[in-house]
């Protein structure tokens, strides 16, 4: 089921989400949340989604990457689900890029983030897993993990010039 994406201003977007217990992962509430998030992200055309964005304050994110008309150079990384994802290591090298968010489509924010990260997480079956990502995909992962801590790109903007309004003024 495609869910409504929670929009800027809702307190759940500013709340730290709780960890998921391995035993929850086999249960129907979790399975249907994960299913709904895949459907919601697919219908939005986005590359990442965090559970609080569909109203559930738990540490589940989806993240991937694919080229778009505006960003034809993005790599192809299948969307996958990561439970209790955390940044285990981040490179000292950083880069700056503009990021959008499905919870406030009218804005984009320019952020400096580590270029490469290692992320530890559980997969949907509860198996411990680890991945390393660079560039755009690393940025998507960091953006979604931020959501789990109630942090939005708008909070991280270094100056007002790093926030751009896209929609009608």
d(CA 78, CA 65): 7
Interaction between residue 122 and Ni ion (CB under 5 A): no
How many C-beta neighbours within 10 Å does residue 137 have? 21
Q: Please state, in angstroms and rounded to a whole number, the distance separating the CA atoms of residues 66 and 159.
A: 29
Instruction: Examine the residue annotation and report whether 39 is marked as an active-site residue of this protein.
Output: no
Smallest gap from residue 103 Cβ to Ni ion (A): 6
Q: Is 101 in the site for Ni ion (CB under 5 A)?
A: yes
**Is the Cβ–Cβ distance between 138 and 114 less than 8 Å?**
yes
Q: Is 148 in the site for Ni ion (CB under 5 A)?
A: no
**Contact between residue 86 and residue 54 where contact means Cβ atoms under 8 Å apart:** no
Tell me: does residue 60 bind Ni ion (CB under 5 A). no
Q: Which residue is nearest to Ni ion (CB)?
A: 101
Q: Which stretch binds Ni ion (CB under 5 A): 35-43, 59-67, 99-107, 111-119?
A: 99-107
Give the interface with Ni ion as residue ranges (CB under 5 A): 101
Catalytic sites, residue numbers: 144
């Amino acid at each position: 089921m495609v869910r409504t994406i929670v929009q800027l201003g809702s307190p759940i977007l500013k709340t730290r989400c709780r960890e998921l217990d391995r035993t929850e992962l086999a249960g129907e509430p979790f399975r249907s949340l994960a299913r709904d998030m895949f459907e919601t992200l697919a219908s939005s055309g986005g590359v990442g989604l965090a559970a609080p964005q569909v109203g559930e304050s738990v540490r589940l994110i989806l993240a991937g990457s694919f080229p778009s008309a505006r960003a034809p150079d993005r790599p192809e990384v299948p969307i996958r689900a990561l439970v209790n994802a955390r940044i285990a290591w981040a490179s000292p090298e950083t880069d700056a890029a503009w990021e959008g968010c499905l919870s406030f489509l009218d804005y984009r924010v320019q952020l400096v983030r580590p270029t490469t990260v290692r992320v530890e997480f559980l997969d949907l079956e509860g198996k411990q897993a680890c991945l390393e990502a660079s560039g755009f995909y690393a940025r998507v992962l960091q953006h979604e993990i931020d959501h789990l801590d109630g942090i939005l790109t708008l909070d991280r903007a270094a100056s007002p010039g790093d926030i751009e309004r896209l929609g009608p003024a």
